[in-house]
A and B are shown apart, each in its own frame.
Chain A
Amino acid sequence: MDLNYTPEDLAYRAKVRAWFEANTPKHELKTWEERLAWHRKLYEAGFVGMGWPKAYGGQEARPMEQAIVAEEMARVDAPGPVNGLGIGFIGPTLIHHGTEAQKQRYIKKILTAEEIWCQLYSEPNAGSDLASLRTSAVRDGDHFIVNGQKVWTSSGLRAHLGILLARTDNTVRKHEGISYFILDMKSPGVEVRPLRQITGGAEFAEVFMTNVKVPAENLIGELNKGWHLAQTTLGYERGGNILARVTSFKARFYRLVEVCHTLKRNGRPAIEDPLVRSKLARIWTETENLRYTGLRILSKLERGEKLGPESSVDKLNYTEMHVRHEELIMEILGMYGQVDKGLPPELKLKEDAEAHTAGTWTYDYLYAKASTIYAGSSQIQKNIIGERVLGLPREVRADRQAIAAAAAQKKQG
């Protein structure tokens, strides 16, 4: 047990800090072009795809180095790179499961963000039960013909390419008939519509596919093995977010404290109100506790250990905590917390944030609520923890019963 950073880590941190202090844009990046230019700067400095193999343009950086960079970025509130899904898992999936031709064609442009990727997974009737997806891909000569609808596609409006889960055999049990494809988002028959969220913004899209021709060489891995590919988390970028989220939670906490010096409660600064202080104290201690759990996970990753289903414990923990803290922030701010436009600068979360965007109290309050829904809802995480970590008996579910009944019937017949 040694929670000190090594001298090498400290030296690396100093170098990274100096770079971000010198290079981080002084104002909010308003346009996509500005964001792309910043991405390229990060890429050239070696801060994009840090965990990727060197052979594919990465740095093979240790989880700790990734964590340090992410932490230092959060510290100065530096904008992140674009193409997060591509860098986070689509690229690594292609490196492991793609053909040589696919690797040559796609991988480098993921890191440079010359091609933006999106993920075509969820459907209106396939959320938590993703394997029940209905989008179909039917073989037709050297193509597949794809029909269906996807939803909650982040970056859907900008993406050049998508990674698509579609059903290629509906005569077998649902997990066994799914394949994994690369979809060119400019293909005829692909229609992308923005999906406006409760925050007012539209970072997601709905994607409609009507008789879309997908070349057979765009299949990733084996036919009908797509579910298993999608289930293996292949991220190289694993150290990154664990401590960065703590740093950004802390940045928000410090801003809240500043605001509490201006905000009044019963004629006195809110910061002097014992009830406000009690809430601030809870936010602080729980955030600090999250840092300790993050260090523990990071230390496992540093030793090359796999996280497995216990990453569900982490996801459940930090998302539920985030939601609780946003509730406390709203309790402290009262009606001021609900003002999206027209809030005095001294009460704002970020001075130059616009209405309906990240950096306003309202947006963060609402967006936190998405975190306990996306990437496996809290309830799904609890099932995983209960069954795969604690070893409680697996649920008797209608879909499993139907499979068992069908198998029994087949045996009889």
Chain B
Amino acid sequence: MYFGFNDEQLGIRDAARDFFANECPTPVLRQIIEQPSGYSEGMWRKMAEIGLQGLPFPEEYGGQGLGFVELALVLEEMGRAAVPSPYFATVVLAGSAIMAGGTDDQKARYLPGIANGELKATLAFIEDDINYTPSGVQLKAERNGDGWTLTGRKQFVPFAHAADLIIVPARTGEAEEAITLFVVEQGSAGLSMEALTELDLTNRDYRLTFDGVRVAGDRVLGAVDRGWPALEVALRHAAVGACAEMLGAARRCLEMSVEYAKVREQFNQPIGLFQAIKHMAAEMLVDVENAHAATYYAAWAQGATEEEAKMGAAVAKATVSEGCRTVANKSLQLHGGIGFTWDHDLHFFMKRIYHNGPKYGDPDAWRAQALEQALASAEAMAVA
């Protein structure tokens, strides 16, 4: 048993940290979020050059063949720099869905393009009723000759405008899990998108309307009516990935707060001398350390048994979302007025945490799921 990182993993983390410190310092971040696209094509290409997009995919599909722990290390660094990028949408959301649900041919068709930076993708999961269970998928797909016609609406689809491919779960039958995943191309007739301006400007979410969008039969990812298991895996990965980003952003909030407490003077002394401030910083560290343990346990668990993968993701999303939000809030309180200004950088990291908290399942929903699982295993224990 070893709950730590090996030299290769630490190398990946350090390389990612240096890369984003150079490519996405906050003055650059401010420029990027002013652009309509909300990301930098140049940075995207450079990320592909150092192999970030292919990191979790097998080498036979042009990837690096690394695991979820390595991916989480990169995501933590992206959270630390609040990088605005379609990376999460492409690699974590769409990439996980393709890996979990696609046939070998489909993996060979899509993953090399993602890995080399040519393709961007996203996953359109949520609908008007924000519900991450199978009943949340109501968008209809009807057979139409050899293909299908999609009708309905999706919400909060990240970087949909940038995506070449949009993976769309749709209802193809009455049974609860009769869900099929479709690969829809950008610019398909009948597909329209509306940008949502949210609190966190380092993300771009869209509302998608499917008004009779026609999809060819070979664009069904995996098998008809068999999309839910892959979607569940993608959702779990998204939850854990979101935790890694929040952890990085929370570490940044804590570091900025500690630095500020050392230099900011009031009443003729650094404010870090006051216990009111010192204790707040200590509480922030406790939350950050808990978030670290939960995030990396969950990241490791994604490659372990399904039971551990489920429990790990649920516990992490519930505890990390809340813990990091508390860190964000305390960091603002610690900074005082200066932290409330747009010109100070703190709000970018706070808002990344606020954004990820409810996304991919809010803490209450994940906690409820963890409880269900715990009660079921308690019953199983009692029977055995």
Contact = CB atoms under 8 A, between A and B. Distances in A.
Are A and B interaction partners? yes
Interface of A: 1-6, 9, 64, 253-254, 257, 277-278, 280-282, 284-286, 288-289, 292-293, 295-296, 298-300, 302-303, 310, 313, 316-317, 320, 379, 381-383, 385-387, 389-393, 395-396
Given A383-B278, A396-B273, A293 B311 contact: no
B297 A385 contact: no
Contacts of B314: 285
B282 A381 contact: yes
B261 A277 contact: no
Nearest to B278: A386
A303 B3 CA distance: 10
B15 interface: no
Contact of B294 (A1, A289, A387): A289
A1 B69 contact: yes
Given A293-B293, A392-B272, A313 B2 contact: no
A316 B378 contact: no
A300 B277 CA distance: 30
Contact of B318 (A5, A285, A298, A313): A285
Contacts of B374: 253, 284, 288
Contacts of A292: 3, 293-294, 296-297, 315
B279 A379 contact: yes
B304 A4 contact: yes
Nearest to A392: B272
8 contacts: A284-B370, A285-B318, A292-B293, A302-B1, A317-B286, A386-B272, A390-B281, A392-B278
Interface size class of B (residues with CB under 8 A): 35 or more
A114 B299 CA distance: 48
A59 to B, nearest CB: 19
Interface string B1-29: 11111100100000000000000000000
How would you classify the secondary structure of chain B's contact residues: helix, strand, loop or mixed? helix
Given A3-B300, A387-B278, A392-B277, 20 more contacts: A1-B300, A2-B1, A6-B1, A64-B1, A254-B378, A289-B290, A292-B315, A295-B293, A303-B4, A317-B289, A383-B278, A385-B286, A386-B278, A386-B281, A386-B282, A390-B281, A392-B258, A392-B270, A392-B272, A392-B278
B367 A278 contact: yes
Given A9-B1, A64-B1, A393-B270, A313 B289 contact: yes
A254 B301 CA distance: 23
B367 A316 contact: no
B291 to A, nearest CB: 9
Contacts of A3: 1-3, 297, 300-301, 304
Q: Which of A1, A4, A281, A282 has the most CB of B within 10 A?
A: A1
A385 B258 CA distance: 12
B364 interface: yes
Given A1-B300, A289-B293, A385 B282 contact: yes
Nearest to B298: A292
A310 B282 CA distance: 11
A299 B3 contact: yes
A302 B318 CA distance: 29
A89 B346 CA distance: 45
Contact of A392 (B262, B290, B297): B262
B283 A295 contact: no
A325 B170 CA distance: 41
A395 B286 CA distance: 21
B48 interface: no
Contacts of A313: 285-286, 289
Nearest to A250: B374
**Closest 8 A/B residue pairs (Cβ):** A386-B278, A385-B282, A281-B371, A392-B272, A382-B282, A299-B3, A292-B293, A292-B297
B250 to A, nearest CB: 14
Nearest to B269: A396
Contact of B367 (A6, A9, A285, A392): A285
B1 A295 contact: yes
A284 B371 contact: yes
A303 B283 CA distance: 27
